[in-house]
Structure 1
Amino acid sequence: MHHTREPKAAVVLLDNREHTPDHEHAVHLKLADCLAQLLGIERQEPPPSSQPREAIYYVPTQTLIDPTRYQPRGIETEDDLFGGLVSQPFMATKAISHPLPAGAACPPGWTDAFAQHASDALLRGYTVFAREDARRAVALLLREGKVRIKPVRACAGRGQQVISDLQALEPILAAMDEQALGLWGLVLEEDLSAVETFSVGQARVAGLTLSYHGTQQLTRDHDGNDVYGGSDLVFVRGDYLQLLQLPLEDPVRLAINQAMRYEQAAERYFPGFIASRRNYDVARGLDSRGHLRSGVLEQSWRIGGASSAEVLALLAFAANPALQALRASTHEVFGACTLPADATLFYQGDDCELGQLSKYARIRDHDRRE
């Protein structure tokens, strides 16, 4: 049960990352401004100490880890932040998306019950926290086909490698820091071809719950790499069950059901887990034998690439109580860019790391059917 709490007085961006590039910091500030507008309060720089802790609504840049660290700041329920809070480091990453190989080492708080409960929603793979366990797990997976090696703290698919024999694993393991591997883990997963990635998510702010599904696009960065280029999303007012009322193609319906299954496992097996922003990447593709596979790759319980569309959708639903569904999109464009007339700009500039870059979001069309 929610106990009655004082209304929030200010929104504060909580940058809890080791390094945040300029373009991302600008987006985070704009997201915090939109959330402040939604909540009808102002955004402040880190709060004056006179402000009672319960009066702050936080926008963390990463999933928060360890509730005991954040309770003194007043972060106790999903109404206190846009993002999520977990009790152990591995719970904030894609490490939870696979079970351990039998008898493997694991960090405090690990439970195999999560992967057992969510098994229908997962691809074939293992998570490991030690080099020897990685060798055993890769040997098992190679019987089925190629294996994708995924560092759990990299995002946008960076740092991943696909191997087809055990020898190829050794240089990857040699380059890894043993302590980091023991804390965060490494994901080893069946490699799929012809992959489509669906996004399924939910945002809960100011008494509103929105749920969505959509797809991601890739774009080329200035170095010619394929990177995240935006998302095209369909939002509904309400929870995932409302989303399932839409006319959906079977792969999308399966992706939503798999995201729900994954989230239910987290709520059941991760004590202290709270999240007001939930996003799941669900991949669908062909395994080495040509069979169709679908599974949740990872969760994002923090602001992410789709959040600019999420906050615009929240504002649109808040402004029009009759609105039941809408389409929104996010866009990341490298190089010169002419903004569409209906774009809300989140960043435009010459970033010192990525070069000329524009990030914007659009509300595409409102569905006014009652």
Structure 2
Amino acid sequence: MAGLFGRVELRRRARSYLVGLLAPLERKAGWQLAAAAGDPTPVRVQHFLSRAVWSADLLRDAVRAYAAANLAGPGGALVVDETGFPKRGRASAGVQRQYLHATGRTENCQVGVFLAYVGERGSALIDRELYLPPVWIEDPERCTAAGVPATRIAAGALAKPRLAEAMIGRAVAAGVAAGWVAADATYGRDTAFLSFLTSRRLPYVVEVPLTQTLRESDRVDVLARAAPASAWRRVPPRPGSCAAGEYDWAWATLPGTEDLPPGFVRTLLVRRSAERPAELVYFLCFHADAVRREDIVRTASARDAMAACLLAAKAECGLDHYQVRRWEGWYRHVTLAMLAHAFLAVGAAAERAAGELDGPDAPRAIRWR
């Protein structure tokens, strides 16, 4: 990544910032990162995040390419999710009292929408966007004070699914090998988001609320109750999955293919907890007709890996430890934390691959550790 930072002093600062994010520090905000770099104050760290000349978007592109080169495969999934960053006051870009589905509470926070690559070899965050609530767009002076670019203000109040579409579009344009898209009900109930994926023939498995209506008037919970006992099948989680507990799955092809590309179908997938059978989760799916049930289930479970990515990036790489308020500072810190997390994810994947090669039948060779 060194070429993205034009001067040697900037490259050294970027390296020290990343080393700090990977260090076993309790907090990874400006003062702590400055101390780890040997600075008496966080002035240089603040300059690096706010005024130094480098592009967070070019770094994002490099992180995506790095993760794809080391983790991607045709069976992988692009997974969308969001997370909140609790904040005090009202000056931080995009901060607002808003509902966080992760906590089930309304909090004063910023919300970041993230895209992860989830594959057999590992998972990593590869894109990010800061959600800007409509009240911010209605207050251009507040936006300007927080450093929100004029182009973003002009774009208006973009809903979270529109941000997700932009990130998925960038990943596809960059050639990231992924056979699926997965998301929760925030995106699954957005018809424009589903049309975006369908028109591009991007197979998806998205959660939908129990009130989601299909076939003109049938709700998904009503259809699920009509499923016979023979429709339910237990599918074991794939090795290394983050899924907790065992689930039964029912899968049905939905009628009506007039609006679908040739060879594609729309299906309904329902997950039932083996321990709590009354707990049902519903997924709307779009894919080629020949896809196996196991592939659908694996993609539905990819959201667990995405949640694990966000937790790890926060706990291990300081994703939520920043103290910046302006738009550019948020994107710079978050992208550097994504790079630190991708570095760990790729290293873990390499370690697992080396372990597989060291089986009883593996050739005897030196292993560097």
Alignment TM class, shorter chain as reference: under 0.3
TM-score, normalised relative to structure 1 = 0.26
Which one has a larger percent helix, Structure 1 or Structure 2? 2
| Structure number with larger C-alpha Rg | 2
Which structure dedicates a bigger proportion of its chain to strand?
1
With normalisation by structure 2, the TM-score equals 0.26
